[in-house]
Chains A and B, each alone.
Chain A
Amino acid sequence: METTLFHVFRNTPLGREILMQSLYFCKQTRASINIYIPEYTKFLMYYENDVVQVDLDDSYLTQPETAKEHAKVLAADAGINPRFIGPMNFTASTLPDLPVDFDFMCCPRSISDLTSKLTLGHIGPKVRRIINSARFPVLMPSCQFKEWKSIMVFFGGSANAVKALKLGLHLSRTTGKPLDLFTQAGKLSKKHFTGILEERGLADQVKDCVREWYFFDQGKFEHNLYDVPHNALAVLGAYGHGLVKEMLFGSTMEMVQTTLTNNLLIAGPNYVIPQ
């Protein structure tokens, strides 16, 4: 089955790096790429139970006359034939609607605020809402193009983490890249996690496909992240605990993304694993 990645192109050096990341991802996963070159600084994405207005910063409208050519050249270098898409409809005359039936979407850590893009910072509210609402995982690339050589799935045992693991297994099969697991166990034993895997029918697949399981029952989570290979694609689930719990205890994904410079692939609570 053909998979498609959706990319909003920004005609700047930073946008070039991010498009290169998307193209590399597409090449590895044999996905096609749909590129949107914005004509307005805002657009709407209608999901099943939410409508997200994405307010882009002005850099997305830089030199629109050269944007398509630049994107084409980068895609040609990667050996990919891109498809340029436009708005499906318009909710208001300056407010286009974009389709949401993709398999992946590439999104910088913040899409509305240029100041925080060159650093890791926190995930912007728009990106957070996209992750929360989308049925597809969001690729959140690092600011500079870097090829990833392996896949690292963050597995904490939750339902979302299981989805992330299935996504990681699928990517590993498609790309042929080795798969590693990272678990910050806390007080739980490894048996607890293997039990979850057995319960979900993943134990055999994990045994066959996982190269190494980074299992930490000691040390702080953010300190242990140092062991994540610098050239791994980090796959993790997000926002699976509900608003109250996340407000009280914080989000693991938010901590990972503020600490790790790796490319991240984030599966939100509404992510649906393709059959």
Chain B
Amino acid sequence: MKKLISWRYPARLPFFRMDDRLLLISIGVIVGICSGLAAIGLNRSLIFMLEGLHHLRHLWWAFLLPAAGAMASSIFLEKIMKEGAGHGVPEVIYSVSRYGGLLRFRSSFSRLISACLTIGSGGSAGPEAPVVMSGAAIGSTIARFFYLNDRQRTTLVGCGAAGAIAGIFNAPLTGIIFTMEIILGEWSMVNIIPIAVAAVSGAEISRILQGNSIVFESSGFHITGVDLFASLGLAVVASFASVLLTRTLRRMHGVSSKVKVPLWVRAGIGGCAVGLLGFVVPEAMGEGYHSIHAMIQGVFKGGMGIAAIAFLAKILATSLTLGWGGSGGIFAPCLVIGSFAGLAYHRFVLFAFPSAMLVNEGCFALLGMAGMMSGILQAPLTGIFLILEITGSYEVMLPLIIVSAISTTITHYFEPASFYHKDLKERGELLRPGTDSRVLADISIREVIERDCIAVSPHTLLREFLYTVKRSTRNYFPVEDEETGRFLGMIRLEHIRPYLFNSVMYDTVFVEQIMDANPETVRYDDNLSEVLETMDAKRLFSMPVVSNDRFVGMVSKATLLDKYRDELNVQTSQAF
């Protein structure tokens, strides 16, 4: 039994205690495989649902299918799983930011099922973000099972996310870069190796079970200087599309929250609207990968106008699905919207400049996807590598970099935070590793309280007080009511300095006459960043902590700095 229990604490084994690299790599493989399996599970379930419901799509009441799916998804999440709607990526980032990657076990499967219901029934959303949530929760659960510390747990959460992305797209590099850029927000050697191994595991399990295929295979493109020049304009269009999607989604959230009906009814209304939209523009329904295939192959039948309408319809459908309570991510819709934008732009350029020698329109669809992804995620590397890996078109590297970089820059100008970070940033909850706010967030007032203060009564004479000063090592003394223990104020050495050289005053001045009756105080649950700001603003070196009108102790800058350094060491400690 003891041997069995020791395996629950692998980090304590002497072999791993010296260097936890092998531990994280070993567990990372498990996490990567599990995340890959989750991705494949969702992929297969979606295919099953889409095929199962395909024959119903032509019926007049087919517009109700997305409504039913969204309602079922909402009921499942809200009533059965008791989770909020949405794709969950901000939840993963939040848990990494604040709680060392602690995620609930239920999140490892809840989003998979709800996304399957939403997307499978025709809702406009992607399966990638739910899979990331699921993979991250798997990593967190496994880390908790083995009692790993915060840093190790965060790495395994990253492993889960990387394995999931690698598994669903058969794109291990994208998995690594997405995790580093979006989820963890730091590039450190401690994380990269286990995450890379997990991404490889996730991709490999996907290849074993689904075959080693490129998601959107393309015929080769021959890029010229004209294409590079034209891609500048596409970058602007893609950034416009990114801003439009971000704002429409948020606007939809705002509108739907004003409708005072149960969440599942709200999701149903959104789904119904998507269903009706799908009658007019079928490309707006579901994840939309069929359209991407057609566009990259250069066989999309519609003209420039149809592509532009499909582009707008997909933005609307995605906003209706996700903004009204459906479950799913924005990866797939971004790819579809981006490819429509690229296609429409290509046709517009040819319409305006018929003699322009541009590459095949499939290439611009592909560039549009990269621009859109980079813009909305504000993660250019993720956009570049995702498109390279899912299309295998390494010859478009140069325009890909141009479109991604410019799209990210322009979008950042209008939307300073990425889609995943925006809410967290607005709530002040996006704390990136190694930053001041992240370090301070992990320190509580209780941890830095100095309790060795001697309290004095307000009726103490200066002479008596001087004896107290003599036996204390502190420069400040709380004044408390003798009977009730209520905190009345503070007396510091500087308060008695004017009377020190006048011994007549020793027996005439009482503490209450010279104390500071209204000092700046701190409460247990105050934010340490704010406490530090107050200290700086008021030029204080320490402040009393008061709870329920009682003096608890002092918080000083010196102790805070010591604790800060300890915490910084813990957070940035690198086992290798």
Contact = CB atoms under 8 A, between A and B. Distances in A.
Contact of B99 (A32, A41, A51, A90): A51
A49 B147 contact: yes
Interface string B83-94: 110100001001
A2 B548 contact: yes
Contact of B550 (A2, A51, A88): A2
Contacts of B548: 2, 32, 81, 83
Say which size band chain B's interface belongs to: 20 to 34
Contact of A92 (B86, B99, B147): B86
A90 B550 contact: no
Given A83-B548, A92-B91, A42 B427 contact: no
A128 B323 CA distance: 36
B84 A93 contact: yes
B104 A51 contact: yes
B468 to A, nearest CB: 21
Interface string A129-168: 0000000000000000000000000000000000000000
Contacts of A95: 83-84
B82 interface: yes
A55 interface: yes
Contacts of A85: 525
A46 B102 contact: yes
B429 A89 contact: yes
Interface in A1-55: 1-2, 4, 32, 41-42, 44, 46, 49-51, 53, 55
What secondary structure prevails in chain B residues at the interface with A? loop
A91 interface: yes
Contacts of A83: 547-548
Given A2-B547, A83-B548, A242-B5, A89 B427 contact: yes
A101 interface: yes
Contacts of B550: 2
B251 interface: no
B82 A55 contact: yes
Contact of A46 (B99, B147, B547): B99
A150 B216 CA distance: 74
Contact of A49 (B1, B144, B429): B144
A96 to B, nearest CB: 11
A129 to B, nearest CB: 11
Given A49-B147, A55-B82, A90-B427, A244 B103 contact: no
Interface string B536-554: 0000000000011110100
A32 B546 CA distance: 12
A50 B552 contact: no
A91 B94 contact: yes
B26 interface: no
Interface centre among B103, B147, B444, B548 (most CB of A within 10 A): B548
A249 B550 CA distance: 47
Contact of A81 (B144, B446, B549): B549
Nearest to A99: B525
A63 interface: no
A94 interface: yes
A53 B106 CA distance: 10
Interface in B72-100: 82-84, 86, 91, 94-95, 98-99
Given A91-B95, A244-B1, 14 more contacts: A1-B552, A2-B550, A42-B82, A46-B98, A51-B99, A51-B102, A55-B82, A83-B547, A89-B427, A90-B427, A92-B83, A92-B91, A99-B525, A101-B444
25 contacts: A1-B451, A1-B552, A2-B548, A4-B524, A42-B82, A44-B104, A46-B98, A49-B102, A49-B144, A50-B102, A51-B99, A51-B104, A53-B106, A81-B548, A83-B548, A89-B427, A89-B429, A90-B427, A91-B94, A92-B83, A92-B84, A92-B86, A94-B84, A95-B83, A101-B524
